[in-house]
């Protein structure tokens, strides 16, 4: 009896060590690409990230210097447009799923949102090309923003639903028992309690679509100059990186590296903000 | 006169501040009853949770609802301000009259019912995003009251009534969740009182509190009954004996016995009541 137990114990220890080693190696494998990509970007791009990069328009072929200010501003404009459509629809949809709706309708909506989350992003570009670009006969910032918003909606919808469901029922009951209407309870109590989580979902969705290139190819199209009207083609950082990266010029390659570095840093910053936001979790649940 | 279908929330709340309590019609039985429940049955889906209960709740008195778990105590108390409707597929038969008006008639807005019949829950639940002060006046705010002077007055008065003012008057800006369990429960009582209900329902308000905090709440209930009609659910026989004027014993969704607390506890007429009170079952 004793022997067996001792034997088992050793074997268990070996298994345990084995499992934790495999887990550790896997963790390294997950982090390594991120570190490598960032290092590579730093090495190749840091040299070209300078004041000009953030303040000047792209230089013509052959001329040195120039920057991507139009692409950076363009990306921000596209994100603003995408947010203007995607945030209200996503948040309200998520609140509907969590607070209203019958079980069966919710099941279908939830399933569809998950399917939409899995649709390749280029598909949204093609859809918006067909629906908007062809109809209004031209690429535009509006079309780009719409394409990005369609990617954002299911993302925001699902995170909003999840964090709203986390709000304990006691708070809803407490508000309703004060004679507060259902709608006001949801807006002032439930959504306020879940606001950190909702904002986190929005920021992560913005970070995700901020790096999207494919849906912008047939919609925003890109622009080497300032965009003066949202119904005209507009530059975006990922598009500019794409254009420069596939070009044959060394100068442009360097600019593409710099652009990629700026983009990754931006996404990284958003994630850090999200981290800071979600740190004070202990006080409330969400 | 039809208070339950009042349209502008701000006026209804403000009106009630200065209005003296409505005189009780002379033809009503003594003691006066704020709530009259008649032939009330409640179903959750196919399950009947409350079975044909008739009961009058005396004004300015404490009525305790006792009975073993699952006997319908909570459902009953929640039906008095239509909170049980939050569970889908509920059905009600019978009437609940608040000062003579049926809470369940079709033109009555449940929100108005709940403004007149407030509720305190088993687990204290101050809103985590709000300060102590905001927690107290949020009900008035969300019902449309904007007058800051009025809100401040009501804030102090509610906290005083809930015997919490002296402990928190310098910390009104601190989060409501920073208080101790017993203080949080009194904060919830203050929050319920701030909208000036006529009836206060308490669903096991002390079951999560230690004996000292419980004693404070019990003392508070004793003082509040001079102004409010109170209905409380309790699992604690001694507590029901200490704080209530009337006791209703529920079993399997039925009202087995109802009467003055002293009679129920010393000389119950039903065998089941006696068995439960003496601890032979439940």
Helix (H/G/I), strand (E/B), else coil: A249 = coil
pLDDT at A252 over 70: yes
Kindly state the tokens that stand for A47: 């040299």
Angle A187-A192-A193 (CA atoms, 0-180°, nearest 5)? 125
The predicted pLDDT at position B90 comes to: 92
pLDDT classification of B74: cutoffs 50, 70, 90: very high
Q: How many CA atoms lie within 13 A of B114 on its CB side?
A: 26
Using the Cβ of A121 and the Cβ atoms of chain B, whether some distance falls under 8 Å is answered with no
Q: Which residue has the tokens 């929050």?
A: B191
Distance CA B217, CA B189 (A): 9
CA distance B118 to chain A (A): 6
Q: Cβ atoms within 10 A of the Cβ of A85, count? A: 17
Give the model's pLDDT for residue B280: 77
Residue of B127, B131, B192, B199 to mutate for A, most A C-beta atoms under 10 A:
B127
Q: Do B143 and A168 touch (CB under 8 A)?
A: no
pLDDT at B7: 46
Measured between CA atoms, how close is A188 to chain B, in angstroms?
8
Going by pLDDT thresholds of 50, 70 and 90, the confidence category of residue B18 is very low
Report percent pLDDT > 90 for chain B: 78
CA–CA min distance A179, chain B (Å): 4
Rounded-to-10 torsion of CA A138, A143, A144, A146: -170
Closest B-chain CA to A188:
B142
CA-CA distance, B44 to B47, in Å (whole number)?
5
CA-based torsion, B204, B205, B211, B216: positive or negative: negative
- Is B119's CB within 8 Å of A175's CB? no
C-beta of residue A259 within 8 angstroms of C-beta of residue A213: no
CA distances from B100 to A26, A38, B35, B91 (A): 71, 74, 8, 22
Closest CA to B129 of A196, A91, A170: A196
Which member of A168, A171, A188 has the closest CB to residue B142? Answer: A188
Contact B84, B96 (CB under 8 A): no
Q: What is the pLDDT of residue A274?
A: 87
Whether B262 is covered by a domain: the verdict is: yes
Q: How confident is the model at residue A283 (pLDDT cuts 50, 70, 90)?
A: very low
Residue contact B83–A284, C-beta within 8 A:
no
Confidence of residue B116 (pLDDT cuts 50, 70, 90): very high
Say which range, A184-188, A250-254, A281-285, has the weakest mean pLDDT. Answer: A281-285
Pairing of strands B199-203, B229-233: parallel
Residue of B nearest to A101 (CA): B88
Element (H, E) at B232: strand B229-233
Contact A176 B86 (CB under 8 A): yes
Residues of A in contact with B81 (CB under 8 A): 177
Instruction: Give B-chain residues touching A173 at CB under 8 angstroms.
Output: 83, 86, 119, 121, 125
pLDDT per residue as tens digits for the range A127-185: 999 999 999 989 999 999 999 999 999 999 999 999 999 999 999 999 999 999 999 99
Residue A105 with chain B: CB contacts under 8 Å: none
Q: Kindly identify which residue of chain A lies nearest to residue B12, measuring between CA atoms.
A: A179
Tell me if chain A has a CB within 8 Å of the CB of B127: yes
CA proximity to B202, closest of B212, B214, B210, B92 = B214
B163: left (phi over 0), alpha (psi -120 to 50) or beta: left
pTM of the model: 0.82
Rounded distance between C-alpha atoms, residue B50 and residue B76, angstroms: 7
Domain membership of residue B282 (yes or no) is no
Q: Which residue of A has its CA nearest to B126?
A: A171
Torsion sign across C-alpha atoms B212, B218, B219, B224: positive
Taking a C-beta distance cutoff of 8 angstroms, is the pair A159, A236 a contact? no
Torsion of CA A277, A191, B76, B37, to 10 degrees: 150
Whole-angstrom distance, CA of residue A45 vs CA of residue A79? 24
CA distance A161 to A171: 17
**Which residues from chain A sit within 8 angstroms of residue B177, using beta carbons?**
283-284
**What is the rounded CA–CA span in Å between residue B65 and residue B254?**
12
Q: How far apart are CA A228 and CA A234, in angstroms?
A: 9
Closest partner CB to B81 (pick from A177, A184, A195) = A177
Interface of A with B in 149-178 (CB under 8 A): 168, 170-178
**Alpha-carbon distance A151 to nearest alpha carbon in chain B (angstroms):** 31
Is B128 among the domain residues? yes
- The phi, psi pair for B187, rounded to 5°, reads -60, -40
Reported in sequence order, the residue ranges of chain A that DSSP labels E, i.e. its strands, are none
Q: Are A192 and B129 in contact (CB < 8 Å)?
A: yes
Please report, in angstroms and rounded to a whole number, the separation of the first and last CA atoms in chain A: 50
State how far the Cα of A170 lies from the Cα of A193, in Å rounded to an integer.
12
The percentage of residues in chain A with a pLDDT greater than 70, rounded to a whole number, is: 95
Bond from prior residue into B31 cis (ω within 30 degrees of 0):
yes
Total domains in chain B come to 1
Lowest mean pLDDT among A3-12, A124-133, A241-250: A3-12
Task: List the one residue out of A212, A265, A269 whose CA is nearest residue A241.
Answer: A212
**Residue whose C-alpha is closest to residue A257's, from A47, A106, A5:** A47
| Chain A residue with the nearest C-alpha to that of B129 | A193
On chain B, the residues whose CB falls within 8 A of the CB of A184 are 142
Helix B148-161 with B181-194: angle, nearest 10 deg: 130
- B111 and A CB contact within 8 Å: yes
CATH number at residue B23: 3.40.50.300
Whether B233 and B257 have beta carbons less than 8 Å apart is answered as no
CB pairs under 8 A between A and B: 76
| pLDDT score of B274 more than 50 | yes
- Asked if residue A66 has pLDDT above 90, the reply is no
Quote the Cα angle for A47-A52-A54, to 5°: 95
Task: Please give the residue range of the domain that contains residue B261.
Answer: 3-277
Q: Do B111 and A176 touch (CB under 8 A)?
A: yes
Is A168 in Cβ contact with B125 (below 8 Å)?
yes
């Amino acid at each position: 009896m004793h022997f067996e137990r001792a034997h088992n114990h050793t074997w268990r220890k070996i298994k345990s060590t084995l499992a934790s080693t495999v887990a550790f190696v896997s963790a390294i494998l997950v982090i390594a690409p991120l570190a490598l990509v960032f290092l590579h970007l730093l090495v190749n791009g840091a040299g070209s990230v300078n004041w000009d990069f953030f303040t000047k328009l792209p230089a013509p072929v052959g001329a040195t210097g120039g920057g991507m200010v139009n692409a950076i501003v363009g990306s921000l404009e596209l994100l603003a447009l995408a947010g203007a459509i995607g945030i209200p629809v996503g948040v309200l949809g998520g609140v509907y799923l969590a607070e209203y709706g019958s079980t069966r309708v919710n099941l279908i909506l939830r399933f569809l949102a998950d399917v939409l989350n899995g649709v390749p992003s280029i598909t949204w570009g093609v859809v918006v090309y067909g629906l908007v670009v062809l109809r209004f006969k031209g690429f535009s910032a509006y079309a780009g923003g719409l394409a990005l918003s369609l990617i954002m909606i299911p993302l925001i919808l699902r995170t909003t639903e999840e964090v709203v469901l986390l709000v304990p029922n006691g708070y809803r009951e407490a508000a309703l028992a004060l004679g507060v209407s259902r709608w006001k309870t949801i807006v002032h109590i439930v959504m306020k309690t879940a606001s950190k989580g909702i904002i986190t979902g929005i920021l992560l969705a913005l970070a995700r679509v901020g790096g999207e290139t494919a849906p912008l190819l047939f919609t925003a199209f890109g622009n080497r100059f300032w965009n003066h009207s949202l119904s005209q083609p507009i530059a975006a950082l990922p598009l500019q990186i794409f254009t420069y990266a596939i070009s044959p010029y060394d100068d442009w390659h360097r600019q593409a590296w710099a652009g990629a570095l700026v983009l990754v840093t931006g996404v990284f910053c958003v994630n850090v903000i999200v981290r800071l936001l979600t740190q004070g979790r202990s006080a409330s649940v969400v | 006169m039809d208070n339950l279908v009042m349209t502008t929330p701000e006026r209804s709340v403000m009106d009630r501040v200065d209005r003296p309590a409505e005189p009780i019609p002379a033809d009503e039985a003594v003691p006066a009853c704020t709530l009259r429940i008649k032939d009330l049955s409640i179903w959750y889906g196919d399950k009947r949770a409350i079975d044909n209960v008739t009961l009058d709740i005396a004004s300015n008195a404490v009525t305790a609802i006792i009975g073993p778990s699952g006997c319908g105590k909570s459902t009953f108390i929640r039906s008095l301000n239509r909170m049980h409707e939050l569970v889908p597929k509920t059905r009600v038969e019978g009437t609940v009259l608040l000062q003579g008006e049926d809470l369940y008639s079709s033109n009555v807005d449940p929100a108005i019912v709940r403004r007149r019949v407030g509720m305190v829950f088993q687990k204290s639940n101050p809103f985590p995003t709000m300060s102590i002060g905001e927690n107290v006046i949020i009900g008035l705010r969300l019902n449309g009251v904007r007058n800051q002077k009025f809100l401040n007055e009501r804030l102090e008065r509610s906290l005083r009534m809930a015997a919490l003012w002296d402990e928190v008057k310098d910390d009104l800006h601190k989060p409501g969740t920073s208080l101790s369990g017993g203080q949080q429960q009194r904060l919830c009582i203050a929050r319920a009182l701030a909208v000036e209900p006529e009836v206060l329902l308490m669903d096991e308000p002390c079951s999560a509190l230690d004996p000292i905090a419980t004693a404070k709440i019990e003392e508070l209930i004793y003082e509040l009954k001079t102004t409010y009609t109170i209905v409380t659910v309790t699992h604690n026989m001694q507590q029901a004996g200490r704080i209530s004027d009337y006791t209703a014993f529920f079993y399997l969704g039925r009202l087995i016995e109802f009467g003055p607390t002293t009679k129920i506890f010393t000389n119950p007429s039903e065998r089941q009541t006696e068995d439960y009170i003496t601890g032979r079952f439940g």
